[in-house]
Structure 1
Amino acid sequence: MTDLRPLHDWSGPPAMLTLWCPSAASMESAKRAPVSPALPSYEQEQHLHAFRACEQRHEAMARLLVVVWEEPGRCDPRAMTHVVTAHLRRHDTYHSWFEERDGAIVRHILTDPAAIQMEPMALGEVRAEDWQKHVMATPAPFAWDCFRFGILQRANGFTFFASIDHLHADATVIAFLMTEIRSAYRAVLDGEGPLQLGQPGSYLDYCGNQRQRAAATTLADPEVTRWIAFLHRNSGRMPAFALPLGVPEDRYHAEYVHVDILEDAVMDAFESACHAAGARAIGGLLACAALTERELAGRSRYSVVTPTTTRRSPQAFRTTGWCVGVVPIDFDVQQRTFPELALIAQDNFDERLNLADIPIDLVLELAAGLPTVGPAATGGVMLSYMDVNVAPLSAHIAREWHQANGRVYINQGIAAQVAIWLFRTQRGLSLTAAYPANSTARASMHRYVAAFAGACRMAADALMPTYSDVGRER
């Protein structure tokens, strides 16, 4: 469905930019929004504290999710104004804004969604670098209006984009944002009645339920015990990348590498190899990562965290918001083969999936003072996998996304560790990685990517003849 790219990779011919921002009356209504006792989600709270820390160090933060696709014809600004306004009214995460009071995060809620009204601003012709600057000017997460929508109009069509602070969105939002905006826009153009999109869930309810569960969680709970044991096995911290990344105390801007790992037929063979081992693709990819670390760093034990959605209902999968936890993965590698490791990794993932519902920040709160857990154990290496052909995405949405040339960008931030995103698309398997922008980390990352790609291809090789024989006359 998509690849994740840094914002500075955006390119394209000059176009006429229109940007949608809240009206002055909407901004005033938000400013007067009363304080609510509802706490932010753990995801939001960590994000807001991290943003403030970056701000105090005068550092950039990778905080924007920028979703982009192409549309034919000339954009009708009145219709699009109606559509983006309706989107913001429909999803209640956009009705909140936050401030700091005595070190605590306080929520304000705009109680009347009808007070939200977006207005278009025609900004004239812009080049790619000008567009990037406008996107980067999306307000910070402590501002209510930390979102922007816009189009780039050309003679033969227009590019639609949404720039949303991570405070209000995660990767799952990609699955329905384009579908919701496109279908609603076309319905307005065709003069149809209000589009029946299916009732979304409430992100405010998600936050409340998460905090309610957290209040009932104790240090003795088995999920917390397993998290603490995982941290203990990593010297009290999240796992670190296996290869050198430069001086740990130095802080660097993030640098990105993007590689197509496997073409579609080879990825089919890789998935078949996983299934033959009793695993799914995520188990096979974790096995390949473990084999890569064994090859390059001689590690006999693999350790990583992998993010997953914490949405649990059909309504939740139609809800804009940040609903993500991480699954702690670690297992012995020794001299095991790919099939053995794929099954072990899959069992590890499945057995620990419920740990994603326990925020790591909650674990650290409960474990404060324990000698086995470091005081700042967050961060660490992350490996993420998204398959566009399974829920919450679908082959239909993937085809629509591909036909519309959909893509996702993130702005540049600071990287102290490594983040790896793997995407299974209709074209195969791609990898995007973020790492510290220095020569040591760059060399390490390029070695890692090459070895990881080799491990994936080797796993697929055994079943490739099956695919190369398809359609051959016998």
Structure 2
Amino acid sequence: MLTLWCPSAASMESAKHAPVSPVLPSYEQEQHLHAFHACEQRHEAMARLLVVVWDEPGRCDLRAMTHVVTAHLRRHDTYHSWFEERGGAIVRHVLTDPTVIQMEPRTLGEVRAEDWQRHVMATPHPFAWDCFRFGILQHDRGFTCFASIDHLHADATVIAFLMAEIRSAYRAVLDGEGPLQLGPPGSYLDYCASQRQRAAAMTLADPEVKRWIAFLHRNGGRMPSFALPLGVLEDRYHAEYVHLDILDDAVMDAFESACHAAGARAIGGLLACAALTERGLAGRSRYSVVTPTTTRRSPKAFRTTGWCVGVVPIDFDVQQRAFPELALTAQRNFDERLSLAEVPIELVLELAAGLPTVGSVATGGVMLSFMDVNVPPLSAHIAREWHQANGRVYINQGIAAQVAIWLFRTPRGLSLTAAYPANETARASMHRYVKAFAGACRQAAEALMPTYSDAGREQ
């Protein structure tokens, strides 16, 4: 039995009349909206939805869940905005009174899996205020909760927290405990205003901008390229995805120990393994990639739904160096350049317009992302809840503009999800890459786990 929560007609009417705000969209939001508009003009689907799914026991109390979902949307001010394009510029409208937001349940009856997917994919586009949907699938063993939110309002850092907030608030309402005291979230509007204020003061003379431009120059004026053939020449392509577990928990523990022995953390070790993979498969003597990281810097910020992500430019010589030296080099590279994540690449390209050594767009390239759900801000407690609730995340298929590799450290070990062009050449390349990357990680782990058996190698 499928039930969806959508804004009431009165809420939609209030949003339609929301006044224009002087707060510009964040650079992340602006790039996303322009990209969606470009897809729309080409009649292409865009990979834009974050779909968070988890399981709950029993029969869902629809009145309680209505209260919880409504409170969630009122609590986080990113949902109070909607955007329109005027003469090429993005204009923000903001609901000044969040109490006008009221969600209403709509029960659609029994559905098949493809029907549920169709309803999720029908989540309104990012220029619509209500580009979010919440729902449940009731079945005999309990019910499955889901939230489909346009990337405009969420990033990977808040996925597990979103689940924890909604399920904790729902249980508090059922138990008669009154409103759950989660601690006040930060303001995403304040984040956007602060980001734009810093950006307005930056020039080509700023050290961070110079370092970004030097990085782009070393990559031929654009973002780094993937090491293997992808079967496409353009930056935009229809993407497909692969997901697999590459290290179990015990082997991942050994891998992290190998990183620590080298003076690095897991991110440094994983970057080293990616560098070794490219050297082995393509003979590259220099590794180059961008890796995203949260730009949240306070407990309030980590309770804030919104898109707060920057990218760190990574590049270093590989030559014939072994894992320990490369892990330390990669870690130092990451740590020394972490502040560059506060400088949006779109801003760098604005400032560098006209420079012959820098291209005009930030699309294309390759990204490697790592998230450890066992440490703050997610914490082992939320990670355990996520695991127990069978939490999972989906991204709708569509046009993408880069090869993306996401690595997740969970209580089960290390998993990998990759997006790449949907063609045979790219599929074969990604298969080779993933196999070699997993092998490099296992080899690093074996250095501190000599009893690791051949049987354990099979993933």
Question: TM-score range, shorter-chain basis?
Answer: over 0.9
1:1-40 C-alpha deviation (Å, 9 max, x unpaired): xxxxxxxxxxxxxxx0000000000000000101111100
8 Å CA contact retained: 1:38, 1:208: yes
**Counterpart in the other structure of 1:3:** none
Name the counterpart of 2:201. 216
Instruction: Report whether the alignment pairs 1:419 with 2:379.
Output: no
Per the alignment, residue 353 of structure 1 pairs with 338
Distance verdict in 2 for CA 1:250–1:96, change over 3 Å = closer
Counterpart of 2:456 in structure 1 is none
User: Pairwise mapping of residues 63-82 of structure 1 onto structure 2 (< 5 A)?
Assistant: 63-82=48-67
2:112 counterpart residue number: 127
Which is worse superposed, 318-327 or 247-256?
247-256
8 Å CA contact 2:52, 2:393 repeated in 1: yes
Q: Is the CA contact 2:47–2:395 (under 8 Å) kept in the aligned structure 1?
A: yes
Residue number among 277, 284, 308 corresponding to 2:269 in the alignment: 284
Select the residue among 250, 253, 256 that pairs with 2:238.
Answer: 253
Counterpart of 1:200 in 2: which secondary structure?
coil
Cα shift at 1:396: 1.0
Cα distance in 1 for residues equivalent to 2:232 and 2:173: 55
Which of 304, 307, 312 matches 2:289? Answer: 304
The aligned counterpart of 1:268 is 253
Counterpart AA for 1:290: A
Q: Which moved more, 1:379-388 or 1:318-327?
A: 379-388
CA distance in 2, matches of 1:124, 1:217: 54
User: Post-superposition shift, 1:375?
Assistant: 1.3
Q: 3-state DSSP class of the match of 1:370?
A: coil
Structure 1: distance between partners of 2:315 and 2:217: 12
Where relative contact order (Cα < 8 A, 6+ residues apart) is larger, the structure is 1
Residue type of the alignment partner of 1:62: A
> In 2, distance between residues paired with 1:251 and 1:51?
12
Tell me the alpha carbon deviations over residues 86-135 of structure 1, each in whole angstroms, 9 at most, x when there is no partner: 00000000000000111100000000000000000000111111000000
Measured after TM superposition, the shift of residue 251 of structure 1 is: 4.8
2:316 matches 1:339: no
- The answer to whether structure 1 residue 151 and structure 2 residue 123 are counterparts is no
Match of 1:42? Answer: 27
The 3-state SS of whatever aligns with 1:99 is: strand
Please list every run of 5 or more consecutive structure 2 residues that lacks an aligned counterpart in the other structure: 454-459
Is the CA contact 1:360–1:378 (under 8 Å) kept in the aligned structure 2?
no
SS in 1 for 2:231: coil
Q: 1: distance between equivalents of 2:149 and 2:402?
A: 24
* Distance in 1, Cα, partners of 2:367 & 2:131: 26
Partner of 1:4: none
Say which of 311, 321, 324 aligns to 2:306. 321
Contact 1:19 1:148 in 2 (8 A): yes
Counterpart CA distance in 1 for 2:403 and 2:258 is 27
Taking the aligned partners of 2:198 and 2:153, their CA distance within structure 1 comes to: 21
Deviation at 1:416, TM superposition (A): 4.5
1:251–1:168 Cα change, 3 Å:
closer
Is this contact kept in 2: 1:265–1:467, CA < 8 A? no
Query: 2:19–2:94: 8 Å Cα contact kept in structure 1?
Result: yes
Matched letter for residue 386 of structure 2: W
Equivalent residues of 1:256, 1:434 under 8 A apart: yes
1-structure distance, mates of 2:425, 2:263: 38
From 81, 85, 90, give the equivalent of 2:75.
90
CA separation in 2, counterparts of 1:369 and 1:318?
Answer: 40
Residue identity matched to 1:460:
A
Residue matched to 1:192:
177
Check conservation: 2:363, 2:402, Cα contact below 8 A.
Answer: no
TM-score by length of 1: 0.94
Amino acid aligned to 1:59: E
Distance verdict in 2 for CA 1:77–1:241, change over 3 Å: same
Structure 2 distance, partners of 1:416, 1:214, is: 24
Task: Give the equivalent residue in structure 1 for 2:103.
Answer: 118
How far is 1:255 from its partner?
Answer: 1.1
The yes-or-no answer on 1:446 pairing with 2:431 is: yes
Asked if the contact 1:416–1:436 (Cα under 8 Å) also holds between the matched residues in 2, the reply is no
Give aligned-pair identity as a percent.
90
Is this contact kept in 1: 2:235–2:363, CA < 8 A?
Answer: no
Paired residues of 2:56 and 2:143 also in contact (CA < 8 A) = yes
Structure 1 runs of 4+ with >2 Å offset: 249-252, 465-468
Q: Which runs of 5+ in 1 are unaligned?
A: 1-15, 469-474
In the alignment, the residues of structure 1 paired with residue 400 and residue 98 of structure 2 have an alpha-carbon distance, to the nearest angstrom, of 37
Taking a change above 3 Å as real, the CA distance of residues 212 and 41 of structure 1, as seen in their structure-2 partners, is same
Deviation at 1:377, TM superposition (A): 3.4
Distance 2:178 2:451 in 1: 51
Aligned length: 453
SS of 2:110's partner is: strand
Once the two structures are superposed, residues 137-168 of structure 1 have per-residue CA deviations (whole angstroms, 9 ceiling, x without a partner) of: 00000000000000000122000000000000
CA contact (8 A) 1:18 1:124 kept: yes
1:283 aligned partner, one-letter code: G
Distance in 1 between the 2:256 and 2:63 partners? 46
Give the Cα separation in 1 of the matches to 2:132 and 2:235. Answer: 31
SS of equivalent to 1:289: helix
Residue identity in the other structure for 2:248? E
Offset at 1:466? 7.3
